[in-house]
Amino acid sequence: MTGSQALFSGATPLAVRMRPTSLDDVAGQSHLIRPGSPLVALADPDAPTASAVSVILWGPPGTGKTTLAQAIARSSGRRFVELSAVTAGVKDVREVMQDALTQRDLYGQSSILFLDEIHRFTKAQQDALLPGVENGWVVLIAATTENPSFSVVAPLLSRSLLLTLRPLGDEDLAALVDRAVGDPRGLNGSVQVDDAARAALVRLASGDARRALTALEAAAAMAADPGGESADDTPRVTADHVARAVDRALLRYDRQGDEHYDVISAFIKSIRGSDVDAAIHYLARMIEAGEDPRFIARRLIISASEDIGLADPDALQIAVAAADAVQLIGMPEGRIPLAEATVYLASAAKSNAAYLAVDRAIADVRAGRIGGVPLHLRDAHYAGAKRLGHGKGYLYPHDADVGVARQQYLPDPLVGTRYYLPTAHGRERDLGARLEKIRRILGGDG
């Protein structure tokens, strides 16, 4: 059998063929499958019935939610029933529950109901699960990529154990690729994968096992296509095969190395320098290299606060909204709010005055330039405060004609200190003019 024939001898996708049959073969998620953990207890056919707790698996795509459910079912000897929230309705849920009750009562057979994408279920559909979960007719293993606190009804949450899955690490993904290459269920040694190709597959997977195996299968098919090798040669998958298979350029980008820091640095400096096109370019490089979109969003929030500040206060709101959107919708759609925030921030007026102001104040505090809080500003809402003179002479600003009352706020050693020095950029220009008037009133000059 040639390499190409061996590669295509199975009709099911490689990612499906390589699903583990026991928890021992599961890649990653060591924090969930350590000895004595709830998932291990569920998979144990000799464990007491009390250990059959329903669970909700929350994590990014490709982290093994379906794999864990199937492995637990096989290891424990339970029936495995799968429903998708995309296609199943309330009637389907009730039928599964009734069938599970029948199997338990007539044949002593316990059932695992794996419900994929439970966040897509309506309240009515989720409520239909409650009798079966509460009475132990089924062990529910539900999977979701969204925060269950916002997408799963409270009664179901309270009856289930919430477990968080993590993206697979690079070592886990590399081991998964090597296993798929040699395993008889996988490529069965029909191809070799060189180091650069393995690194490319790991990088492009971004913690997603299914993505890694799908890309491997496509790259292997390309390498196995006759094109120069003799029939006796074992096709070798290269980084070029991976790049062509997934239809994207392989970027030299190590998420833990220099390139990671260089690109994010260039991204932030391009925003600071108001070069929209450069900022978008570096954003695209990070997205294509598999950078964590939440990391990008956090950097945008920092940039909005540090480099734009009060020259355009809307920038921070837009950056925070982009971060929330990425968390809610994930990738690849998350690239759109990230791009919107990047363009806005790069185009916005810039000011680091607020950032410098707090650093100046912190420097004074660390140097011991503090002083006591003026008596009229101290808390007067407790017994004995009046005797100490706390609050005496305090002027309520709302009683003043212009909403600002002339009185001292800074401690004595700091009177007259100016920490915040607004620029003439954007909205800070108007803010600066207003602030000058306020400072004159506070100082008795207005």
Cα angle 216, 283, 219 (rounded to 5 degrees) comes to 10
Segment 247-268 shows an average pLDDT of 66
Give the pTM.
0.53
> CA torsion 290→295→301→302, rounded to 10°?
-120
pLDDT at 339 over 50: yes
pLDDT at 269 over 90: yes
pLDDT at 308 over 70: yes
Q: How confident is the model at residue 358 (pLDDT cuts 50, 70, 90)?
A: very high
Asked whether the beta carbons of 203 and 211 are under 8 A apart, the reply is no
pLDDT at 1 over 70: no
pLDDT at 39 over 90: no
Q: Are strands 160-164 and 79-84 parallel, antiparallel or unpaired?
A: unpaired
Which carries the bigger pLDDT value, residue 11 or residue 366?
Answer: 366
Phi, psi torsion values for 332, nearest 5 degrees: -85, -10
Please state which of the ranges 7-21, 233-247, 364-378, 409-423 shows the lowest mean pLDDT: 7-21
pLDDT at 6 over 50: no
Question: For residue 16, what pLDDT is reported?
Answer: 85
- How many other C-beta atoms lie within 10 A of the C-beta of residue 245? 23
pLDDT at 230 over 70: no
Question: For residue 228, what pLDDT is reported?
Answer: 44
**Domains of the chain listed by start with CATH number:** 29-164 (3.40.50.300), 169-246 (1.10.8.60), 258-347 (1.20.272.10), 353-442 (1.10.3710.10)
Q: How confident is the model at residue 253 (pLDDT cuts 50, 70, 90)?
A: low
Asked whether the beta carbons of 123 and 153 are under 8 A apart, the reply is yes
**How much is the mean pLDDT over the chain?**
84
Question: For residue 317, what pLDDT is reported?
Answer: 96
Collapse the DSSP code of 23 into the 3-class scheme (helix H, G, I; strand E, B; otherwise coil) and give the result: helix
Q: What is the pLDDT of residues 158-204, one digit of tens each?
A: 888 899 888 888 888 999 999 999 989 889 888 899 998 898 888 87
